[in-house]
Amino acid sequence: MKIFLLGMMGTGKTYWSKILGKKLKIGGYDLDFLIESHEERTISEIFAEDGEEYFRKTEAKVLRWFGEKKTFVLATGGGTPCFHDNMAWMNRHGITIWIDEPATALAARLLPEKEHRPLIRDLSDTALLDFLDKKRTERESFYTQAAHHLQHGEISEAAFLKIIRQYA
């Protein structure tokens, strides 16, 4: 069972990877955390010191490590599906689930943690909502390639387990 959770920042991918990992008794991982461990620096530091291109190459490399694992739930970064053929790779190697929340809900969740997120750190609170709308539009063509789509209002442990049971 290989499960990839994708969607915009703030949708709860990391939260759900932990919940589902425990429930299914398999590893729950966060791709950004693994990148930080591998690089021995934060995502913000990687962006500042080496740029987004370097980060995206490292992200693809760490993602590919999961081709060797048999069971896991992986919370990907918001942009992961959009680079280096990652979306197609995830679809070939596991179950992909797009967690889709409205920009207003994401903005409310992200405001307290802006400092830790390089793409939104310098945005005013008002600009954050516009940024989230724009990014979602840019990424939607990748996100819609996911095998499953959970939208606001239907995102629950039961909904995830219903999807996962189809593959058990």
Q: 122-152 as b/e, with b when 16 or more CB fall inside 10 Å?
A: ebeeeebbebbeebbeebeebbeebebebee
Structure confidence by residue, pLDDT tens digits, 102-143? 999 999 999 988 887 888 989 998 899 999 999 999 999 999
pLDDT one-digit tens code per residue, 71-92: 999 999 999 999 999 999 999 9
Structure tokens at 13: 């991918």
* pLDDT one-digit tens code per residue, 5-59: 999 999 999 999 999 999 999 999 999 999 999 999 999 899 999 999 999 999 9
DSSP state of 82: G
How far is it, in rounded angstroms, from Cα 137 to Cα 155?
Answer: 20
The set of residues, in sequence order, having a beta carbon less than 8 Å from that of 18 and lying 6+ positions away, is 28
Structural domain count, the chain: 1
Per-residue model confidence (pLDDT) at position 147 = 98
Confidence of residue 62 (pLDDT cuts 50, 70, 90): very high
State the average pLDDT over residues 61-76. Answer: 97
Alpha-carbon distance of 86 to 61, in angstroms, equals 10
pLDDT for 67 beyond 90: yes
Quote the domain boundaries for residue 105.
2-165
CATH classification of the domain holding 22? 3.40.50.300
